Structure 1
């Protein structure tokens, strides 16, 4: 399928090449942002998008929703909220009197901005030049009764990730590839705070993220993502005699995205989030599903 097989949204963007809403609210894949600017707006236009997401694994559930504003296909502003069902954290009361409440949820707000600085994913599709964007995500975590645990670990409840993304659309091959480099000290994307007390890692580190999507038809794509994670807390847990109880693993998924209309897209994915605080989940890998719906104008 070449360029002739792809369809454009009413505003001129190719269907699905603008990505979907990532868990942080920015346009991209489900787990990582791309360099594309969200919404259906092109140069000289202002666009809007909104999304809702549900992910579930063996021990955790995550609900997310948010909105984004696209300005002239150059700037993207986004706002997202994540709500994690952290019920397994009740087991932490058996380690120390943390006072974690049954059924505790962790909520996190994410304010994002992304700016396209070079290239155009569609107009430069016949050249080697990718679209490049820089962005940041400022996150604030509302931990509830788990705040005492984060204090014990020496993590902060707010932090800012900075990233640069490069997205290349190969129209003749019906393929989109993306690479993102994130500068972060977030634990589990920020849901477990930012940084760590010594001997854990408190400073930010560079973490790569990769996405690939293959367009099966004008409105259907399949793909995969891999997101490296910083694992800031494991050394602290090991020093406390907990071994790998606080280990953080990389995230990955395999997804299918469908755009039944120019304004609606649906994404279903199999996700593998590795071990999330394995000391309270019997070292189980957290695999499951991810489902997201987006509307864009």
Structure 2
């Protein structure tokens, strides 16, 4: 065959499909991505941030894992005993939500299926998208050791995490305590910050009058969430605010419920917001929780896991948050506190 004939048969454009897949398979079969357990070379290990099985990889994943792949290949060529450990993450509530959306298209809910059948559907989703993710990583050419792949619900993985937490507890580095969290009343579960869709909106700012216990006057606070006064335990002012200096240490009375509220000084308070005096509702506001911890205040829970008012709210118990807002505003106005 002449050189001219060879050139004529060469495809005008490079087609990666017939080349890259074949070479990746060979590299994987030859163990090119595995560390040498007998090697005395310095180890270099990357555990990839496991992608969620909620869907498929996107361009952001390609960027992140591409960097890790480059680092792994670079250190391997420098003589390090290199391992890049792949895996996927169950993603908890996020995966539950995508499965529920799939069920909704079929006209059923997780309650219709029952627990066991729903869990089975979730595992079917996981297997489908975990396999898609594996093939996407291979298509990217990522030099991962697939013989060590992990899923965040693998028994060995769960045992390792549990062991780590036990060690931290025994060393006094973790403890169990109350915190304000993101809670979904539909899922009946805590959810992470990255699963929260924050939205800005214009809202009404309500000014509420809290009488002083000694009858010497009142202190006015401003809030956009009047229904949360049912969980109030204090009023806070800035220690540098001369307007309220003489009120620090006194006691105010919570309208509608008659609960005694301490008036405390705390640097958290923005003197430019509202009146400069802030109601403290520790169980339902992140900043208020920190104030309550600093001042050793009670933290009554006025809104339950079902998004309804608890017994802490007295006559408003059982109302939804929206219903309680209407009722509280009505009664505050009737009592002359609004």
User: What band does the TM-score fall into relative to the shorter chain?
Assistant: under 0.3
**TM-score normalised according to structure 2 size:** 0.19
Query: Per residue, is there more strand in 1 or in 2?
Result: 1
Higher RCO structure (Cα 8 Å, ≥6 apart): 1
Query: Per residue, is there more helix in 1 or in 2?
Result: 2
**TM-score normalised according to structure 1 size:** 0.21
